[in-house]
Every structure is written in structure tokens, then in C-alpha cells.
Amino acid sequence: AEKFSEAVDKAAERIEAVIPRHYARWGAEENDWYEEVDIVKTYVEERPPFALSQVQQFHGLADKANIQLNVYPPQAGKIDLNSISLRKFPFKGVYFEDIAIQMEIVENPGFEFSHWETNRTDFDGSTAYSRKFFPTNGDTVTAIFSGSSQYNELEVYPNPSNGNFTAQFVTDKRQKVQVLLYDLTGSLKKELFNGQLLGGTHQLDLEIQESLQGIYFLTVLTERERFSEKIDGTVKETGFFKDGIPEGKWLTFAADGEKTAELNYQDGKRHGEFRVWDEFTQAYMEISYVNGEMIKANKWVKAEDFASINK
């Protein structure tokens, strides 16, 4: 559901700039398009739990169990889970507590399976290549291999970031991990994570309340290692709020710092001139709003003229 929702967002972003022109031509409301996009995303996000519940009720199954599987080092091997062969980790899935699942190790060339590391007491440390067990909610299982692997110690995306990003890194065993944010002077700005993690590949969704501006360093500190990645805190959107709603002029920017849109708000609604870059015509489209309603569109402004407007 998450990947499909991201795909919907990307598809919507590609055509968003021409939607006002489309509705101006055919006489519909621009907001209808945004509502339709939200309907698709809502359906995709909300449907899976209902589908699982229907299967659960129809077959009289026990409670659902959310599990996570991992391998360490990355690319060291695969896990065959029931009828599927897992190659991308960490893997997260939903199963049922009264239906046993089967796991089998597949070693990649140059690696040898060592043992399982898990929060379950029944096979933590087991060296058996194959395990069959009844899952419980919250199970985390990592297959540990011996050998060597080439991988990036720390990956941060998206980068540039406006304060919301994912940090992906690897730990070789269960241990305490800290994720810290430093500025260019080496001063600690914020501790983003502090806790115990099992061995394997981890993806932490991190959020900084204030918008990042400038260059920072994200550092992952484990019991034995320290690795960092530079974060470009490019400003994506600037503006002001009044009583919690947008007010006055707002500007949006691309990752390279170029201005892509200029909006004006009054009482939280678009009001006045709205200019946005149109990738198809390579020009800026100017739209007029009154209290959130579009009243005029299709006035084109050259890029060089737009760049000089209200810098």
C-alpha cells in the first residue's frame, strides 16, 4: 500500500501543473482532481486491513501477527518464506498466529549461514537452516551470515531533505544505537533515535519538527562503529501561518533552489495571483483566485520574467 501510494503521488506530481489549465478548459472545479487523488490513496491505504479481516473471519482464523525478517550482512543470502523467496530486506508481513510459517535459508556465493537472531526465545541463536513456527505479533527474525559484503554503511533519502527522511543502515548484532544530527560546526542539534536494535538492515523514518536549512551531518553511533552522511537541508517551501493556517505569500522551490511556484493565501484560501512552472510549455502559468476559487488562468509568464518577480 505504501509503495502504491508513493506511485500515485509521483504520477500526480507529473501532471499537477497542467490540471488548472485542464479544468479551465472543461469547466470543472480544480479541487475535484485533488479529491479524486485522495480517494485513490485512501482506498489503497485502507483496503488491506479490511481484506485481511474478511479472510480472518471467513476462515475463523486467530489474531493477526505482524512480523519482520532481515539478513545480515546485506546481500549475504535470501530467506524462502512459505512459497515466496525474499530478496529485499527488511521484509514486513502480516500472518495469522494459528497458521505455521516455514523459513529456509538460501546462501549467496561466498557466504555461510551462522545462526538466527530473534526476539523469540524458542529459536534465538539456532543454527538450523530451516525453521517452522507459529508467528506472534511483533516477531523480529534476522538471519546472520559469515562472510563479507559491499554495501553503503548509511543511506539517507530523500536528500536534499526538508526535515522528513529515512535513514537506512546495518548493525551486526543486537545493540544500542543512537542517531544524531550535527551542524557544520560539529554542534549537536538533535538526538533523533536512541534505543536497542537487532542485527540486520534497518530503515528509520525520522522527522525534524523545524525545517532544515543548510548542510548537516546525520550520524549513526553503535557500540562499535560510527558513520555519517551529509544532509542538504534545501528549503522546499516558505511562508507564514496565522492562527494555524497559511496567510500571505508562499514560495516553493525545487531541489536545486530554483523557484517553482508562488502562491498567495487569505484566511487559508488561495487568493490573488498563483504562478506555477509548467514543464510542458517551459513557462510559468499565472492563475487568479478569489477566496479559493479560480477565476482566470492561461496567462503565461516567461521564466526570466518570473525569476525577477518578488525575489
Q: Evaluate if pTM is beyond 0.75.
A: no
pLDDT at site 157: 79
Do 56 and 87 form a contact (C-beta atoms < 8 A)? no
The confidence score (pLDDT) of residue 268 equals: 80
53 and 70, same domain (yes or no): no
Q: What is the rounded CA–CA span in Å between residue 9 and residue 21?
A: 20
Instruction: Identify the CATH number of the domain in which residue 92 sits.
Output: 3.10.20
Digit-coded pLDDT (tens) for 78-137: 999 999 989 888 999 999 999 999 999 998 877 889 999 999 999 999 999 999 999 999
Q: What is the pLDDT of residues 217-251, one digit of tens each?
A: 888 888 877 778 878 665 456 667 677 677 888 77
260 & 213 share domain? no
Residue 280 is assigned to a structural domain of this protein: yes
Report the pLDDT value the prediction gives residue 213, as an integer from 0 to 100: 65
Domain count within the chain: 4
Across all residues in the chain, what is the average pLDDT? 80
Query: Strand, coil or helix: what is 153?
Result: coil
- Average of per-residue pLDDT across 164-169: 83
* Residue whose C-alpha is closest to residue 178's, from 163, 197, 151: 197
308 lies in a domain? no
**pLDDT above 70: percentage of residues in the chain:** 78
If you write DSSP's letter for every residue of 169-222 in order, what string do you get? Answer: EEESSSEEEEEEEEETTS-EEEEEEEEEE-SEEEEEEEE-SSPP-EEEEEEEE-
What's the pLDDT at 304? 47
Residue 159: the pLDDT is 73
- Closest to 149 in 3D by CA, of 97, 74, 233, 78: 74
pLDDT of residue 140: 95
Listed residues 232, 266, 281: the one ending a domain: 232
Give the best-scoring range by mean pLDDT among 60-69, 190-199, 232-241. 60-69
CATH number of the domain encompassing residue 207: 2.60.40.1930
CA–CA separation, 29 vs 16, rounded Å?
Answer: 14
Task: Please give the backbone phi and psi of residue 12, each rounded to the nearest 5 degrees, phi first.
Answer: -65, -40
Evaluate whether residue 291 is within a structural domain: yes
Q: What does the pLDDT read at residue 152?
A: 52
Check whether residue 37 and residue 89 sit in a common domain.
Answer: no
Structural domain of residue 252, as residue ranges?
A: 238-301
What pLDDT, on the 0 to 100 scale, is given for residue 283?
Answer: 59
Q: Counting Cβ atoms within 10 Å, is residue 42 exposed (0-12), middle (13-18) or buried (19+)?
A: exposed
Q: What pLDDT is stored for residue 62 in this prediction?
A: 94
pLDDT value at residue 296: 64
Give me the pLDDT at residue 258, please.
62
Whether 92 and 40 map to the same domain: the answer is no
Is the same domain home to 78 and 38? no
CB 111 within 8 Å of CB 77: yes
Per-residue model confidence as pLDDT tens digits over 20-60: 888 888 877 767 888 888 899 899 888 988 999 999 999 99
pLDDT in tens, 270-309: 888 777 765 555 556 677 778 877 666 555 544 444 444 4
Inside any domain, residue 143: yes
Q: What is the pLDDT of residue 307?
A: 43
What's the rounded mean pLDDT across residues 198-222?
A: 78
- Residue 242 forms part of a structural domain: yes
- Residue 188 has what pLDDT? 85
Backbone angles phi, psi at 56, to 5 degrees: -60, -45
Residue 309 in domain: no
Q: State the average pLDDT over residues 55-80.
A: 92
Number of residues that this document lists for the chain: 311
Is residue 310 domain-resident?
Answer: no
Which region holds residue 275: left if phi is over 0, alpha if psi is between -120 and 50, else beta? Answer: beta
Q: How far is the C-alpha of 203 from the C-alpha of 233, rounded, in Å?
A: 20
Tell me what pLDDT residue 179 has.
Answer: 92
Among positive and negative, which fits the CA dihedral 128, 132, 136, 138? positive
pLDDT of res. 278: 56
Q: What is the pLDDT of residue 305?
A: 47
Let me know if residue 307 belongs to a domain. Answer: no
How buried is 84 (Cβ within 10 angstroms: 0-12 exposed, 13-18 middle, 19+ buried)? exposed
Looking at the structure, tell me whether residues 54 and 68 fall in a common domain.
no
| Residue 271, domain CATH | 2.20.110.10
